[in-house]
Amino acid sequence: MTRSSMALRTRVFSALLSRISTPVEEARDFATLRAERRRLQATAVGRRIFGHADKAAVTEEIVLGTGQRALVHRPRGAIGPLPCVLNFHGGGWVQGNPEQSAWLASRIAVRNRVAVVSPTYRLAPEDIFPAAVEDCWDSLAWVAGHAADLDIDPQRIAVMGDSAGGNLAAVVALLARDAGGPELRGQVLIYPGTEMYDRWPSEDRNAEAPVLTSRNMRAFVRLYLGDQHGTEDFRASPIRAASHADLPKAFILTAELDPLLDNGTRYRDVLMAAGVPVRYAEYDGAIHGFLSLPGVVPVASRALDDIVGFLREVL
């Protein structure tokens, strides 16, 4: 892997991260790791790394009828019903929280004049597959079913997610199609994990990449699937679905220096072969997780512009 195309601040961040972080494959106390992540996010340094919510947005914490906590970002002073983006956070199905997506979600809310709902979901290894899938599906069903309470338009909903959240967004889109609704206008899949087992060239090329290594990838999968490791259920690997026809228009974003890059390109090809309209973008010099790291990966701003443009079209 070459780092020559990385911005200087990305290289510095990557070097620091490699010294202070505990690789997931070595972790034992996941609750403590999650708590440490939350504390970092709340510090001045954390806010510079992860970004902060747009001041033109109003952010409210709610509890869905499913029992899941969620952050709802809206444009300040907006009058509904608003279109809705249901956003699933990343973190390898093991860590992460809606707060880490606030920079992206709040700016989409303001610039697209939409409500962005970012729910929690159960995490592994305490709750293994398909707990996260069930929670994300339930959150979509609840949001669509309570549109009037949320002041959103149930006919104008899109799903979005990054990394593990991109996996969950892709799965939810498949489930919604198979269930006959809620009908989705689009799916934004940000460096998604779409295949649990196959090893593709980008994983070898970026095996020691910042934020996510090949070893990290394999550990996250084993923690998420637990005793179901080996399952070919499409709810784990959406690329393995029997059909990808009739899915909503997709925007797939990938990062040049990411072992998961080929998960995105392969899913793009599968969707296009099934007749699904797909927009695709790969961001030079970007590392995995870059849309949660706007303070250290400058190209995050351009990716945000691209997502805003796509959502403007579909919603």
Omega before residue 154 within 30° of 0, cis? no
Structure tokens at 242: 């029997």
Q: Is 144 helix (H, G, I), strand (E, B) or coil?
A: helix
Annotated catalytic residue, options 73, 89, 244, 288? 288
Annotated catalytic residue, options 89, 258, 262, 292? 258
Distance in angstroms (rounded) separating the CA atoms of residues 189 and 168: 9
Q: Which of 240, 242, 198 is nearest to 221 (CA)?
A: 198
48: region left, alpha or beta (phi > 0 left; psi from -120 to 50 alpha): alpha
* Annotated catalytic residue 258: yes
Q: Are 190 and 220 in contact (CB under 8 A)?
A: no
Omega before residue 130 within 30° of 0, cis? yes
* Annotated catalytic residue 288: yes
Give the start-end residues of each E strand in 163-312. Answer: 186-190, 250-257, 278-287
Annotated catalytic residue, options 163, 214, 237, 292? 163
For 68, 100, 111, 139, 177, the CA distances from 74, given in Å and listed in that order, are 19, 17, 10, 18, 27
Give the start-end residues of each E strand in the chain. Answer: 57-63, 69-75, 82-88, 115-119, 152-162, 186-190, 250-257, 278-287
DSSP state, 292? G
Catalytic residues, which ones? 163, 258, 288
